[in-house]
């Protein structure tokens, strides 16, 4: 999908990868961008930056785990710019906890990292299927392909969203709706950098696995991947290699992987 002239909405877009994608997609000539986040001030700031540079954007305060809020984002896009072409489910949470994570952490991980994407598909598919055109971009993670030592809820839910994306792509691509899973490893964001500073095992493992990218580099990879209609968009090329090694020899992969109890 070419981004020029398209109506786009993003969750988790007040900073980090989401904000970088909002700016990049606007610069690519999007007809309008809906910048949504639970951080109302951050969403307004990103939308204002886009409009200051000649783009069209509106900000929405929304919880990505709420189907009602997802519907509000889509309705806002339609009212402001026209029917939605691309929905980017980008919001995510990580707690850096193992299998004994609190039930609230497991529940929140599932709500944001998985059910957000389910809700997005349920809301946008009817209209996209009716016109035979549309795109869903799910920000998963390299952890959804090769794991994240030390963070069980994050690893499990990111694997789940890639499974959902694959099912949607298999089911709806023949009817004109494309689906991509964006799977970066370490990115210099407010989600990862505090963990590195605190020397958390998960953050250190991710930082050691591949060079840290800037959010703008991930946004550029996302734009290229959408234009090429790639299912797996891999800003870190090493993820492609590691995923292939894991698939070829899963027992050897597990044996090589670092262990962490939590």
Residue 223: other Cβ atoms inside 10 A: 18
Task: Look up residue 36 and give its two tokens.
Answer: 């949504």
State the catalytic residue, choosing from 138, 154, 172, 243.
Answer: 154
Helix (H, G, I), strand (E, B) or coil at 258: coil
Q: What is the DSSP string of 17-47?
A: HHHHHHHHHHHTT-SEEEEEES-HHHHHHHH
DSSP 8-state symbol, 38? S
d(CA 234, CA 221) in angstroms, rounded, equals: 7
CA distances 94 to 111, 147, 191, 262, Å, are 12, 13, 7, 14
CA distances 174 to 132, 177, 233, Å, are 9, 7, 20
d(CA 164, CA 81) in angstroms, rounded, equals: 28
154 is catalytic: yes
The set of residues, in sequence order, having a beta carbon less than 8 Å from that of 253 and lying 6+ positions away, is 245, 246
Is 10:43 a contact under the CB 8 Å cutoff? no
CA distances 65 to 62, 160, 247, Å, are 9, 15, 31
In DSSP terms, 88 is beta-bridged to 10, 137
- The residues that are catalytic are 154
């Amino acid at each position: 999908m070419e981004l020029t002239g398209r109506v786009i909405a993003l969750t988790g877009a007040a900073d980090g990868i989401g904000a970088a994608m909002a700016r990049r997609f606007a610069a690519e000539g999007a007809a309008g961008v809906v910048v949504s986040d639970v951080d109302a001030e951050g969403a307004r700031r990103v939308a204002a930056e886009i409009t200051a540079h000649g783009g069209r954007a509106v900000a929405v305060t929304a919880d990505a785990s709420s189907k009602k809020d997802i519907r509000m984002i889509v309705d806002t896009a339609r009212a402001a710019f026209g029917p939605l072409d691309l929905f980017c489910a980008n919001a995510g949470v990580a707690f850096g906890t193992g299998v004994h994570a609190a039930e609230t952490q497991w529940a929140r991980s599932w709500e944001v990292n998985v059910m957000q994407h389910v809700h997005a598909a349920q809301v946008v598919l009817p209209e996209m299927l009716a016109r035979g055109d549309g795109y869903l971009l799910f920000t998963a993670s390299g952890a959804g392909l090769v794991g994240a030592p030390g963070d069980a809820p994050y690893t499990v839910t990111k694997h789940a969203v890639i499974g959902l994306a694959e099912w949607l792509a298999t089911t709806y691509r023949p009817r004109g709706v494309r689906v991509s899973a964006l799977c970066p490893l370490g990115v210099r964001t407010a989600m990862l950098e505090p963990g590195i500073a605190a020397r958390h095992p998960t953050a250190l493992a991710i930082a050691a696995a591949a060079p840290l990218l800037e959010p703008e580099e991930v946004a550029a990879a996302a734009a290229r991947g959408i234009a090429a209609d790639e299912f797996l968009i891999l800003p870190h090329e090493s993820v492609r290699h590691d995923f292939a090694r894991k698939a070829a020899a899963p027992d050897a992969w597990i044996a090589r992987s670092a262990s962490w109890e939590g």
